[in-house]
Chain A
Amino acid sequence: MMAVNWAERISAFSRSPSRFLSGTTAEAFLAELLRELRDDRATYSVKVLLLSPLCEHPALLCPSDSVGEETALELMSVFAQCPPKSVQFRCHLLLALTSVLVCTSCVSGRSRASQDFLDLLLQIAEDTIDLHGDGAARSVRATACDCLRELEACSPGLLSQRLELLGGLRQREASRIHQAYAALHTLVLRNAVYQLTQQTGAGAEHLKALLGGNTSVAWEAEQDCSLMNDKDSAILSSLILGPMGTVPTLQTGPDCKELRSVLSSLLEDSYLLTPLCQAALLHRLTEVVSMVPGVPPAVFRAQLLRLLGTSEVCLLHTTLLMKCAFTDSLFSAEDEAFILKRLVVLSQHPLLSTPEKLFYMDCILHFPENRPISCGDGDETLPVLLTPRLASALVPTVFNDSATMLARFNLLSLVYLEEGVEGEGEGEGSRGLAYLYEHLTSLLDIVQSGGSREIIVTFFRAAFLFLFYFCQVERYSSGLTEKLCKLYLCHTYLAPHLINLADQTQDRLTESSWAVELLKALQVVITKAPLAQLTLQDLSQHLKMLTRVAEEGEIPQTNTLNFLSSIITPSSSSLSGDWRLGNSLLGVCRRLLVHPSLDSLLLPLADILQHLTCHYGNTDIQDHARLYYTLLTTLSREKLAGVLAQGLTEGGRQVKKRSLSSIMAEGEGLTSMLTIHRVEKAIFRLIEAGCEPRGEPQTEKGSDLTLNETESSPGEANVVLETYRAQFEDPNFASEVILDYQLTHMEAIDPHFSQLFSVRLHFNLTDNHYEELSDISVPCLFRERQPPKVRLRLKPRRPYPTTLHASAIFTTQDGLSWHTVLPDIHVAFQQAFMSPPAPPAWGRGGKQCLFEGLWDEISSEGGLNDPADCATSLFCCQLKEAALIALVEKHFLPYLISDLSDEEEFKVLFFLPPLSHILLKIRTEEDAVHFNIATDNWQLLPHISSYLLTITRYRKMLMANCDASLLVFKKRS
């Protein structure tokens, strides 16, 4: 049962840690995990599962370094007690430990646990005796090496002093795990050499000392240096970054015998490693050799034959990076030509997967040339050796998948562009371009005959690429326009794609007028097409298109107007009252109202608006048309432009009168009105209003006492308790904690936000200890006025401290809506304190009676309360009498049951909704002040004790009387 339970819980955690932790706390979950890991009854397969949250989210479960440290110590003791045959579990434990220590910065801080763990790992790595001979120890050893390597990767320089030891271990290991030692050794070597390059005056001697393990000569500032590098991420970064990257160097002179021998030994064995490990090892060694000019790159020569012929993507990649680092000092011109040919072949090899082929094409466009012409700023450039003839292996075909086809289209476009495509000549460039155009046409034909969504999207992407490179070639770009128009007429649902293409080409190709030409042509085909077969669907797409066309000042709009009047004038029943369509019509009109050629459009446009006003079968549309008509006929040209243009400026906050003009039609004005904008910085926050006592106010002093103050007998106490408890039969009785806040502006905010309206506050819980809160509306928030009060009604399920996330939506003066996040609201434990909700008729006597009744019930076994939930406890601290009275007055007065003048014993009763009580009897004994605590909810004990600790510590600090306090608590089972 446990196993199923844990499998589900762990998978729920990994699916969404935030949702999982909202039902518990990270602290509690961690404690549960650790307890279960120690439990002998749990199987090891379950325990492996339990480690996965620690491996995947260590920082979430161990929020501080000290928790990380404790967790690590705990895990190490689990490791120590784990039998050697549970190999999988031991390996996973090592991984979890690595994750916890690295992610809580215990490693970078060289904490005790991390030192112990390092020692443990080294001990495992060195212990090469396999007692059982079944290879079990070997697996753990390999994992230990992996962990050491990760520690070194995350905290570079950590193992620099162990270089010789690690080298020796690597050489002695003959079983297949020599790979793990080689990877570790290589990384430590790389980091150590890097650190030397950062040392002023470091040279051959230092390098020799480092490799020989001669720590006495090793550089002195080792510790400081490695610590420094933790902050400096440069050491984590790859050193092979193309022609612009600079590599730090170590001047050693030509004699680096020791380093050379280490390198050649690593390289000699490299072919024994898996391709992935080989690639990583070669990359690290490439970095080492680039840092030490004393070692010639020729040390890699012997490996090249194998690397150049490889079919493994990572090995070829590492070879390219090597070429990038060493250029012609390792690779001849023939090698370069060969590698490029190989990349071309691999880019289209039918046996490779699509992502691999795309990657190879990417490598061609970032080819590390021996003598690069450009500085290689990360842009795609063609290698000089890539001729059209060679590249022709990569021409796009209709049988390619979309990504491959687009990648090839892009590459070939670059190739032909390089060759020169102007003129009708027979040059390779123009022949290639002709092919690309023909290919684009084939794609268009497929779209024309009803291709899938994927092929449509692919076609438009290819069209964009084509225009991006060749829009200056008139014969093709105008041909494409013509074909697109035909295509649109057959498939009007392509309107959004065409608008997107027009938008993007206009945006990216600022010098080209292609987009305008396309829109112009589309206007012609839309307005000249026979109206007879026009469906409602087509019409709505046409109007979308014409709206976009009307955005272009250069395009005359007479055709559009003629089209509009021809579709509205006949007694076309399809138009009779569709609101959407009416809105689309108005959308075009609205654009026309701000068109630069409005003067010439005035009469026909007025006719159309008037017709809509009188005949359109939808009142809303009629009204809007009337407004436009009025604006058009009464306002001067400048005013009209002024009123409407404001609505068109994008996201302009200074616009005040947007609502008037933009609400009428679908346009970006309306969109920006309807969109909720986001404010990155907090604009306002909730601060706690003055601390007034919560719960029932203590005003009935001296009112009629139905119960005698002093003579409360057990019988009476029972009656009191019964009466008191009867009130709770109504589940809503005293179930809320009311917290008052003020909503105030943050300091230094944009003046734009100083007057806010319709603020709607929304609260999100971070745990499930409380019921969801409803939203709160605040009519307005002005900077210069009194801050409005906000009252939160929290309904606890369990009255624990909590944090609330708060956000708000509000409106600014210009009518825009905004969304903002407020700083979190922290609800402290004591904020849930209330006076007991006694019946109003009761006076102090009644409450005293209640106190005694509860106290006796909790302290004894009987009573109505579930005894398992009851607990008593004692909290002691050193306080002088005056300090104690001050403390009681400051913190407990609203909840005080006894008389303040009765200094012998203070009785305090906190009620915490929905049903919990905490009772305090405070009395000064000879050695200390004793806080006797009784509660009917033992889970509140940690919270009350930390609360008491806080207030007494503060008091003590005030009184400069700082003795240790003591907390004892006893839970009855």
Chain B
Amino acid sequence: MSVRALWIISHEKGENVSVRFSRRFATVEHRAKSLAGSSYVAVPEENTVLQLLLTELGLSDSEKSYVALRDDCLHRQRSPAMELRVDGPGKGILWPVLAISQGPLILACLPLVDAPVEPRPPLASLLSVSQGLTLLAGLQTFLLGPGGKPDSEGLASRLAMLPAILLQVCPLGSPLDVPILGAPATPTVPIPAGNQKQPVWKTGLHRGRAVVNVALIETVRSMQYGNRSRQDLWDVYGTVTCKVPVPPILGSYRLKEEENQLHVSVTLKLHESVKNSFEYCEAHLPFFNRDQMGVVDVKVSSGQLDVSKEKNLLIWAMGQKFPKSREVTMEGKISFSGPTPGPTDSLCTELTAYIKLYFKVPDMTLSGCSVDQHSVQVYSSAKPRIVTSRELLSKEYFIWNSTGTAPVSSGQMML
């Protein structure tokens, strides 16, 4: 249940790659050696690991269109654990290397295989794998900081804190905890009296009125094709996974090509069961693989239309409410006669186009799920106040142009 080594790598879209931090756990390596016997493969030096890792992640040789080692179709890219093929005197396969990558950072570690190595045990039988994943995720959250996008100074200062942090969370290769964000734990927290033990995950003492906040956030996704042969799809998830009878906003999107002009026709309908009170509601209509928009002659029945010519994007802001009819329309023509080509996309070619909806409805859920303030029981001597809330949020809410081909995309079709 330990990791043999840990690496933190930074890069800029595959360029300027460097190992920013690495740690080897010698005692775990010692155990790895006893466990693997003659099949033992030592962890190579940093640069070798880096090269092998980049190949495995498909980030090496980005200028070459095909590299056998990187692009073989037999490659098991679908497993969370990678194989690094070490060459040279200590050659062999280093497995299972875990890696998570976000933005400019790649974090990787090599969990200990505490099982007979031949035949290779399933990943699911090694507890060190989930431990390694948890450690990596914790370190990633810590390093990226709030917002998930670190500036280089912030990153450097957090990297400099790692030795002290690893002393707390993973001193000898066995992960004990994940780094705590914000202020470090104060060791002076009074120890509870009597036999009661202090929870390790509670790091401080709260000195205000006790409050329990129960928030229910539902997220709705949808794919609407406007095509009889293809079923529209939607799902809702959140803290409770559940199904809904209808999508909250039904739409129709039709494009017609007329001599370098597109005729656009959109209708959006808010379902009667949905509360007509948005925090925001916007429809985005991007156009790809065309010249920039020239003349945009489009009218909307309600809301406000913004045109971003550089991005070839129409933004239709509906505001806080749909009109009484609960239906809004857009109609008009766009010519693509701009001087420069607009953005490209390999999915949305020709009439394959979509509207993406962004909205948030406070204080409602599609599933009808809610938390009853009075039914929440808290087993504690402090009588906390109970606060509950709920909201509905859209994500990946697409309405495809029904006159073009749309990609197959989602999974509820058989339900």
Contact = CB atoms under 8 A, between A and B. Distances in A.
Interface string A308-348: 00001110111011001000000000000000000001001
A598 interface: no
A354 B133 CA distance: 11
A150 B73 contact: no
Interface string A127-138: 000000111101
B167 A91 contact: yes
Contacts of B197: 173-174, 178, 269, 272
Contacts of B89: 821
A134 B188 contact: yes
Interface in A472-498: 493, 496-497
A320 B124 CA distance: 9
Nearest to B185: A176
Interface stretch (B25-33, B291-299, B362-370): B25-33
Contacts of B189: 176
B171 A274 contact: no
Contact of B78 (A410, A455, A493, A496): A410
A646 B253 CA distance: 65
A273 B199 CA distance: 6
Given A378-B119, A399-B396, A176 B199 contact: yes
A279 B126 CA distance: 12
Interface in B10-60: 19, 22-27, 29-31, 34-35, 37, 45-47, 58
A317 B72 contact: no
Contacts of A451: 346
Contacts of A176: 189, 198-200
A233 B34 contact: yes
Nearest to B29: A103
B45 to A, nearest CB: 5
Contacts of B201: 272-275
A964 B274 CA distance: 99
Interface in B194-246: 195-201, 219, 237, 241
Interface stretch (B175-183, B255-263, B303-311, B318-326): B175-183
B377 interface: no
B178 A389 contact: no
B80 A274 contact: no
Contact of B413 (A91, A362, A435, A821): A435
A432 interface: yes
Chain B residues touching A, majority SS: loop
A450 B74 CA distance: 23
B372 interface: no
Contacts of B188: 133-135
A314 B134 contact: yes
Interface in B258-300: none
A950 to B, nearest CB: 31
Contacts of B191: 174-175
Interface stretch (B63-71, B149-157, B329-337): B63-71
A694 to B, nearest CB: 33
A410 B58 CA distance: 20
A497 B115 CA distance: 37
A280 B30 contact: no
A406 interface: yes
Contact of B68 (A138, A276, A500): A500
A226 B115 CA distance: 20
A447 B65 CA distance: 13
- Decide if the interface of chain A is mainly helix, strand, loop or mixed: helix
Contact of B409 (A135, A317, A389, A398): A398
Contact of B75 (A356, A363, A404, A461): A461
Contact of B26 (A56, A312, A410): A56
A930 B66 CA distance: 73
A178 B178 CA distance: 17
Interface stretch (A14-22, A584-592, A889-897): A14-22
Interface in B111-133: 114-116, 119-127, 129-131, 133
Contact of B346 (A175, A353, A358, A455): A455
Interface residues of B, number: 98
Interface size class of A (residues with CB under 8 A): 35 or more
Nearest to A345: B241
B373 interface: no
A787 interface: no
Interface string A88-118: 1001100100110011000000000000000
A237 interface: yes
B167 A397 contact: no
B122 A318 contact: no
A173 B196 CA distance: 10
Nearest to B196: A174
Contacts of B167: 88, 91-92, 95, 143
A242 interface: yes
A279 B70 CA distance: 35
Interface in B396-415: 396, 405, 407-415
A321 B122 contact: no
Contacts of A280: 1, 127, 131, 174
B415 A238 contact: no
Interface in B92-125: 98-100, 114-116, 119-125
B73 A463 contact: yes
A267 to B, nearest CB: 13
A355 B73 CA distance: 20
B125 A504 contact: no
Interface in A133-184: 133-136, 138-139, 143, 146-147, 149-150, 153-154, 173-176, 178-180, 183
Given A397-B410, A431-B414, A366 B134 contact: no
A442 interface: yes
Interface in A24-74: 48, 52, 55-59
A7 to B, nearest CB: 11
Given A102-B26, A153-B31, A366 B124 contact: yes
Contact of A403 (B2, B23, B77, B98): B77
Contact of A15 (B30, B45, B80): B45
A241 B115 CA distance: 7
A138 B131 CA distance: 25
A496 B174 CA distance: 44
Contact of B58 (A178, A269, A457): A457
Contacts of B395: 350
Nearest to A269: B197
Contacts of A242: 122, 125
Given A279-B130, A280-B131, A313-B130, A274 B123 contact: no
B171 A143 contact: yes
A280 B415 CA distance: 39
A382 interface: no
B77 A277 contact: no
A348 B178 CA distance: 24
B137 interface: yes
B8 to A, nearest CB: 13
Contacts of A747: none
A853 to B, nearest CB: 50
Contact of A358 (B71, B80, B241, B408): B80
A844 interface: no
Top 10 A-B pairs, shortest CB-CB distance: A135-B187, A395-B411, A317-B130, A406-B78, A407-B78, A358-B80, A366-B124, A496-B66, A314-B130, A355-B80
Given A442-B407, A458-B77, 9 more contacts: A58-B26, A149-B172, A174-B197, A183-B176, A237-B116, A272-B201, A404-B78, A453-B65, A508-B74
Interface of A: 14-18, 48, 52, 55-59, 88, 91-92, 95, 98-99, 102-103, 133-136, 138-139, 143, 146-147, 149-150, 153-154, 173-176, 178-180, 183, 230, 233, 236-238, 240-242, 269, 271-277, 279-280, 283, 312-314, 316-318, 320-321, 324, 345, 348-350, 353-356, 358-359, 361-363, 365-366, 377-378, 388-389, 392-395, 397-399, 402-404, 406-407, 409-410, 428, 431-432, 435, 438-439, 442, 445-447, 449-455, 457-458, 460-461, 463-464, 493, 496-497, 500-501, 504, 508, 821
